[in-house]
């Protein structure tokens, strides 16, 4: 069975080429083997992208469910008698409809990324109508457009004969039936707008660009199943800290006397205050490294695979304006040197 490339990339079938590219970049970053991702999953994502961004392959995939019709159920060269036959049958099994996914974005502070958090997300979705239990109304009748089959047959002439293809009926959306009396609550749609409040548990190490997938929390659809809720992670900038992948970098200023003579200084980190001894003769740019004190590293399954580092970079502060006394001291120091 051919894979659903749209589902693999997390995009709707009507997605533009640019949307497909954006989805691929996010998925590839999330599952890249160099980032601890699964190699087979990465290959699957890449193949889906190659098919959906190639106009010819995409057209074949959208029509036949595979980019290579000859390798699947439709094979114009499958047999000598078929080649000279009049009609080839390529039937498309009706699939249960799925509601649209809903995408929301949440912002996390660096502290929330470090320790994990729980967020309440408020959003609006199409939910199954309670008045008709999502049926759209009461009483049933066969769809007049497809005569109750749920499919509409189309015939296309090709150099090899005629291809008969069954596609989902656009009137009943493959259900094969319609309601006789529409529901007053949803006017036959089977869904109503509803404001949702959902608790989302976010693991420690959830970096910007990651996407959490919550099944069944998206839009409902008449005669189908609920879509999913896709939560995109972004990060609130904090001027006190710099994030380099899973490492946290803090730039800490010290005076020239402290750099020359040495001493102790306190540095505020995202989780605590570190007391650092500055050795005499410390140069600008010196790094104090604290292993495993950075951001947790998650693999593609959400498991912890270690922790990044905390790096404190010393910046020697040179005054732009000197008092007369300070200037005299520096002049004497210059003479001594």
- Contact by Cβ (8 Å): 182, 141: no
Every domain of the chain with CATH number 2.60.260.20 lies at: 242-336
- Contact by Cβ (8 Å): 209, 179: no
Handedness of CA 122, 124, 128, 131 (dihedral sign): positive
pLDDT of residue 64: 64
Helix (H, G, I), strand (E, B) or coil at 256: helix
pLDDT of residue 160: 61
145: tokens are 């457009």
Every domain of the chain with CATH number 1.10.287.110 lies at: 1-75
- Contact by Cβ (8 Å): 31, 19: no
290: tokens are 């604290």
Q: How far apart are CA 300 and CA 38, in angstroms?
A: 7
Q: What are the 10-residue block averages of pLDDT along the chain, 337 residues in total?
A: 78 88 87 77 87 84 65 40 38 66 94 94 94 89 86 73 76 82 91 94 90 92 90 93 93 94 95 95 96 90 89 94 88 83
Q: How far apart are CA 58 and CA 43, in angstroms?
A: 18
pLDDT of residue 266: 96
Question: Quick one: 1-75 is in which CATH superfamily?
Answer: DnaJ domain (1.10.287.110)
**Could you tell me which CATH class the domain 242-336 is placed in?**
mainly beta
């Amino acid at each position: 069975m051919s894979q659903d490339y749209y589902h693999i990339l997390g995009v709707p079938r009507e997605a533009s080429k640019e949307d497909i590219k954006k989805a691929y970049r996010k998925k590839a970053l999330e599952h890249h083997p160099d980032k601890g991702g699964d190699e087979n999953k990465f290959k699957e994502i890449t193949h889906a992208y190659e098919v959906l961004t190639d106009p010819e392959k995409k057209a074949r995939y959208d029509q036949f469910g595979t980019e290579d019709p000859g390798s699947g159920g439709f094979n114009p060269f499958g047999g000598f008698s078929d080649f000279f036959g009049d009609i080839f049958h390529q039937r498309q099994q009706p699939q249960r409809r799925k509601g649209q996914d809903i995408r929301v974005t949440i912002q996390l502070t660096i502290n929330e990324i470090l320790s994990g958090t729980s967020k309440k997300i408020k959003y609006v979705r199409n939910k199954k109508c309670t008045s008709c239990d999502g049926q759209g109304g009461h009483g049933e009748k066969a769809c007049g457009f497809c005569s109750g089959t749920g499919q509409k047959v189309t015939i296309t002439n090709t150099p090899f004969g005629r291809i008969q293809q069954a596609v989902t009926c656009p009137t009943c959306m493959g259900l094969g039936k319609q309601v006789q009396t529409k529901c007053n609550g949803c006017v036959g749609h089977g869904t109503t707008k509803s404001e949702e409040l959902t608790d989302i548990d976010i693991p420690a190490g959830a970096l910007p660009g990651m996407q959490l997938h919550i099944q069944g929390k998206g839009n409902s659809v008449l005669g189908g199943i609920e879509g999913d809720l896709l939560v995109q992670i972004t990060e609130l900038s904090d001027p006190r800290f710099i994030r380099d992948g899973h490492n946290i970098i803090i730039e800490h200023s010290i005076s020239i006397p402290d750099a020359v003579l040495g001493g102790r200084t306190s540095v505020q980190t995202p989780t605590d205050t570190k007391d650092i001894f500055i050795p005499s003769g410390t140069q600008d740019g010196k790094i104090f490294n604290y292993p495993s004190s950075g951001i947790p590293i998650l693999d593609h399954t959400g498991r912890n695979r270690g922790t990044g580092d905390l790096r404190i970079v010393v910046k020697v502060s040179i005054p732009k304006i000197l008092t007369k006394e300070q200037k005299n001291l520096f002049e004497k120091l210059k003479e001594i040197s």
